[in-house]
Chain A
């Protein structure tokens, strides 16, 4: 029986049941031409992945286009623009009347507002509330969306997230090099709680944000700013 390209491709791409896969594998193994054809398909797939490779980091200019420019956040004067809880609630109530406009406006400012809100909202759980989320009338600043989000641990006054591809060892080294200490273990979503001398926290977080390995570094208790 001749085996078709579609059957070979289905085997290659998980399109067969276990029983069908076993049968097709046996047929391929018994047919040198089918074996060669499978190799050709695998090789073509590898070439396609090589033609469009996965780059673990986005270039700074692309990060800026997405509103994720760390330098912008660092220069934003977040520490000087404190928002108290009452203002945050008022902003939420006001913005709820025109949420679409808020969402459409200045994506580049989103992360700045995020950091501002996080600086003063002393929430117990790790759930930095970005301004757009506060604008929803039903949003609960203390509500954790993902069931496995960790509760803020005593001594932790900042959180860090790393770019993809950074292993735990390198993460700990990076944090330790700043004089900060890791508190507990990272959450399943990759959020690390760290403790920093309050007198040095702003400087340490600013230094972390300049590192390409760092995706996010923010204070979580609002103190010391």
Chain B
């Protein structure tokens, strides 16, 4: 076991762990970004940041959770920057569930499509919890630890995320499954 005084050299074993972790990180980034293309951009940013800041990872702590948190922070920072620049972001459109039902009905042919559309419009502040709990199948406590937020916040955001996705799916008549 390394002592606290030992520096954090990035060696082959840590790099190997990061490489082995990439598929899960990629899926998590897709969940954060809302689509695959932006998810891969986020993956690249997170991977490069992890490599360049590996000194900041504390030995004995969960390396993967540290990288997940980096990705989440990059995503949130990007969303804030877009708001500052006045770029329309999902958070302004996401709760507008009226007005484009006709278009959505044409575009969404299945429940799965409806879920994908909902995920793309999910407010950014709910995405990291959704990705951690549903995609990574972490418990509320594990998610709270990973994202460094209170467990009550995890529960609240997960509840809102679920309501958002369900309402988006249920309002699409083509996506509703028969009882």
The B interface is mostly helix, strand or loop, or mixed, namely: helix
Min CB distance A44 to B, Å, is 6
Tell me if A48 counts as interface (CB < 8 A to partner B): yes
Q: A47-B112, A51-B112, A51-B119 are contacts. A66–B22 as well, Cβ < 8 Å? A: yes
| 12 A-B pairs in the complex with CB atoms less than 8 angstroms apart | A6-B159, A10-B155, A44-B162, A48-B115, A51-B112, A66-B43, A103-B52, A114-B12, A130-B10, A130-B15, A136-B9, A145-B59
> Contacting B7 at CB < 8 Å: which of A5, A14, A114, A138?
A138
With CB as the reference atom, state the residue of chain B lying closest to A4: B159
Binary CB contact string for chain B from 5 to 18 against chain A (1 if under 8 A, 0 otherwise)? 01111111111110
Tell me if B31 counts as interface (CB < 8 A to partner A): yes
With CB as the reference atom, state the residue of chain B lying closest to A12: B133
> Contacting B26 at CB < 8 Å: which of A55, A145, A146?
A55
> Contacting B31 at CB < 8 Å: which of A52, A65, A161?
A52
The reply to whether A147 and B1 contact each other, CB–CB distance below 8 Å, is yes
Binary CB contact string for chain B from 124 to 145 against chain A (1 if under 8 A, 0 otherwise)? 0000001001110001111000
With CB as the reference atom, state the residue of chain A lying closest to B34: A52
Q: A56-B23, A145-B59 are contacts. A216–B16 as well, Cβ < 8 Å? A: yes
**A residues within 8 A CB of B162?**
5, 9, 41, 44
**A residues within 8 A CB of B139?**
13-15
The reply to whether A53 and B27 contact each other, CB–CB distance below 8 Å, is yes
**B residues within 8 A CB of A66?**
22, 43-44, 47-48
> Contacting B12 at CB < 8 Å: which of A6, A104, A128, A136?
A128
The reply to whether A51 and B140 contact each other, CB–CB distance below 8 Å, is no
Tell me if A119 counts as interface (CB < 8 A to partner B): no
**B residues within 8 A CB of A13?**
133, 139-140, 158
Tell me if A57 counts as interface (CB < 8 A to partner B): yes
> Contacting A58 at CB < 8 Å: which of B2, B14, B26, B142?
B26
**A residues within 8 A CB of B40?**
62, 65
The reply to whether A215 and B20 contact each other, CB–CB distance below 8 Å, is yes
Tell me if A2 counts as interface (CB < 8 A to partner B): no
**A residues within 8 A CB of B26?**
55, 58, 62
**Lowest 10 A-B CB distances belong to which pairs?**
A14-B139, A15-B140, A128-B12, A103-B52, A139-B9, A133-B9, A138-B7, A47-B115, A51-B116, A51-B115
Number of A-B contacts (CB under 8 A): 151
Min CB distance A33 to B, Å, is 13
Tell me if B30 counts as interface (CB < 8 A to partner A): yes
**B residues within 8 A CB of A14?**
139-142
The reply to whether A54 and B9 contact each other, CB–CB distance below 8 Å, is no
Binary CB contact string for chain A from 88 to 101 against chain B (1 if under 8 A, 0 otherwise)? 00000000000000
The reply to whether B134 and A49 contact each other, CB–CB distance below 8 Å, is yes
Binary CB contact string for chain A from 23 to 61 against chain B (1 if under 8 A, 0 otherwise)? 000000000000000001100110111111111111000
Q: How far is the CA of A130 from the CA of B13 in the complex (A)?
A: 10
Tell me if B83 counts as interface (CB < 8 A to partner A): no
Q: How far is the CA of A199 from the CA of B133 in the complex (A)?
A: 51
Q: How far is the CA of A48 from the CA of B24 in the complex (A)?
A: 15
**A residues within 8 A CB of B119?**
48, 51-52
With CB as the reference atom, state the residue of chain B lying closest to A146: B13
**A residues within 8 A CB of B11?**
127-130, 133, 144-145
Tell me if B166 counts as interface (CB < 8 A to partner A): yes
